[in-house]
Amino acid sequence: MSTSHPSAGLVAMVSEHASPLAALGGPDAGGQNVYVAHLAGRLVRRGHEVIVYTRRDDPRLPERVTTPDGFQVVHVPAGPAAPIPKDELPPYIPEFGDFLAREWAAEPPDVVHAHFWMSGWAALAGARGLGVPVVQTYHALGTVKRRYQGAADTSPRDRIAIETVVGRECSRIIATCKDEVAELEAMGLSRQHISVVPCGVDPDRFAPVAGIRRPRSAPRRLLAVGRLVPRKGFDRAIRALADVPDAELLIAGGPEPALLLAEPEAERLRAIADECGVADRVTLLGGVGRERMPGLMSSADLVLSLPRYEPFGIVPVEAMACCAPVLATAVGGQLDTVVDGVTGVLVPAEDDHDISGTIRRLLADPERLARYGAQGRRRVLARYTWDRVAEGVTGAYSAVSTVPSLSGALR
């Protein structure tokens, strides 16, 4: 793909809490950060100028920085220049929106792409009166979070109401899976207003690593990956392990290993492992760098992705890119990405389902696992590369922008 095209259009991305420069593994650093970084880079390669606006959470950060991928990151002064949990950010969103309004009044972008509901709130305020279209990707919906977390939901009280207003006022919504479309329609938003574009993976980085499979005499390796939060279902994987002999479970996620002792969710998972008598077969790895993740996934006999709910779920896609078979709960985007009986197995999200029995049957059939892994890689190459994502996103931009080059015609 050529990178020599002149700038085709100015795309402003707003990602208030998820910087494309952030190190992954923290409580609010995960899939959205990766999505914004990769999409911005791919749009630059397609000839566009891209500026990402994210909140300054460290006084040492420069006001603006240009990344090696060619997009610019602007650290917006909104609230204290310190880490703040995303659920505590709403008081600072008006200040964020005022900054965008000043910035865009001087140089209006051709299209604004907001990521997460608070970014949409700020982006609409910043674009008001400029005639600039705002495209919204939620990444997660408050209705879903409230349904599954109930009283434990820490989202701001007005989240769902604001999400609905953002959906009505923006020019277009990009949903990441079919399940999200149904949720948006239940909120009263029009299907005609929505494009479906999945998240992506870099198949050159996430690829099978040769020679890393362990000998048959070693315990079978189960791997679970994600942020250390209860909804990811690592506890279900630990409980299932109790009835899967001769297997080990590695859990990758959270802070670096030295800080795991002070991590409440890690402490809870260790207690469950003790209770189930599998503490000697469960290893909490802490945060694993993305450069190490393909090797780790390639070493697994089976990757478990067992969240109780999941807006999209990038882990199954990354695993499939590494030819690793996947056992996933039938929720959210995993209903789209994991083809039951082809690239892996989908199981109900309810806690009473016999996950251990499914794991035992899969581990007893290595040919089936190898077939799932190979088919998973093929599916990723056909549907989930970042180039395919960028093509779908620019198609959504073209539906609302008068800039011809934002139609995605450039390659």
Question: What residue segments make up the domains of the chain, in order of their start?
Answer: 10-200+385-407, 220-383
User: What residues pair up with 249 in beta bridges, in sequence order?
Assistant: 222, 282
Give pLDDT tens digits for 158-174: 999 999 999 999 999 99
Cβ atoms 290, 205 nearer than 8 A:
yes
Non-local (6+) Cβ contacts of 38 within 8 A are: 200, 202, 386, 389
For residue 312, what are its two tokens?
Answer: 């999209």
Q: What is the mean pLDDT of residues 231-244?
A: 95
Whole-number pLDDT of residue 188: 96
Q: What is the mean pLDDT of residues 242-262?
A: 91
Stretch among 39-43, 254-258, 263-267, 387-391 having the lowest mean pLDDT:
254-258
DSSP string, 190-229: -GGGEEE----B-TTTS-PPTT-PPPTTSPEEEEEES-S-
pLDDT over 70 at 23, yes or no: no
What's the chain's average pLDDT? 91
Q: What is the mean pLDDT of residues 310-335?
A: 95
Label residue 411 by pLDDT band (50, 70, 90). very low
CA gap 81, 63 in Å, rounded: 12
pLDDT over 50 at 409, yes or no: no
CATH code for residues 10-200+385-407: 3.40.50.2000
Cβ atoms 88, 55 nearer than 8 A:
no
pLDDT over 50 at 7, yes or no: no
What separation in angstroms does the CA of 300 have from each of 203, 284, 311?
A: 18, 15, 24
Cβ atoms 53, 36 nearer than 8 A:
no
Cβ atoms 306, 344 nearer than 8 A:
no
Q: What is the mean pLDDT of residues 397-403?
A: 86
Label residue 50 by pLDDT band (50, 70, 90). very high
Label residue 410 by pLDDT band (50, 70, 90). very low
pLDDT over 80 at 403, yes or no: no
pLDDT over 50 at 61, yes or no: yes
> Is the CATH number 3.40.50.2000 carried by domain 220-383?
yes
Label residue 405 by pLDDT band (50, 70, 90). low
Q: Is 212 exposed, middle or buried (0-12, 13-18, 19+ CB in 10 A)?
A: middle
User: What residues pair up with 49 in beta bridges, in sequence order?
Assistant: 10
Label residue 117 by pLDDT band (50, 70, 90). very high
First to last CA, the chain: 7
Percent of the chain with pLDDT over 70: 94
pLDDT over 50 at 250, yes or no: yes
pLDDT over 70 at 5, yes or no: no
What separation in angstroms does the CA of 129 have from each of 52, 76, 101, 123, 134?
A: 21, 21, 10, 12, 12
Q: What is the mean pLDDT of residues 56-80?
A: 96
CA gap 61, 378 in Å, rounded: 41
Fold equal for 10-200+385-407 and 220-383: yes
DSSP string, 296-322: HHHT-SEEEE--S--SS-HHHHHHHHT
Which SS3 state, helix, strand or coil, does residue 96 take? helix
| Number of residues that this document lists for the chain | 411
Whole-number pLDDT of residue 73: 97
Whole-number pLDDT of residue 217: 81
Cβ atoms 115, 35 nearer than 8 A:
yes
What separation in angstroms does the CA of 146 have from each of 142, 156, 158, 231, 309?
A: 6, 11, 12, 12, 11
Label residue 1 by pLDDT band (50, 70, 90). very low
CA gap 8, 31 in Å, rounded: 27
CA gap 168, 149 in Å, rounded: 25
Write the DSSP symbol of residue 55: E
324 backbone dihedrals φ, ψ, rounded to 5°: -95, 130
What is the radius of gyration, based on Cα positions, of the chain?
21
Side chain identity at residue 159, one-letter code? R
Stretch among 24-38, 196-210, 301-315 having the lowest mean pLDDT:
24-38
CA gap 224, 13 in Å, rounded: 31
Higher pLDDT, 196 or 26: 196
CA gap 281, 248 in Å, rounded: 5
Q: What is the mean pLDDT of residues 315-325?
A: 97
Label residue 248 by pLDDT band (50, 70, 90). very high
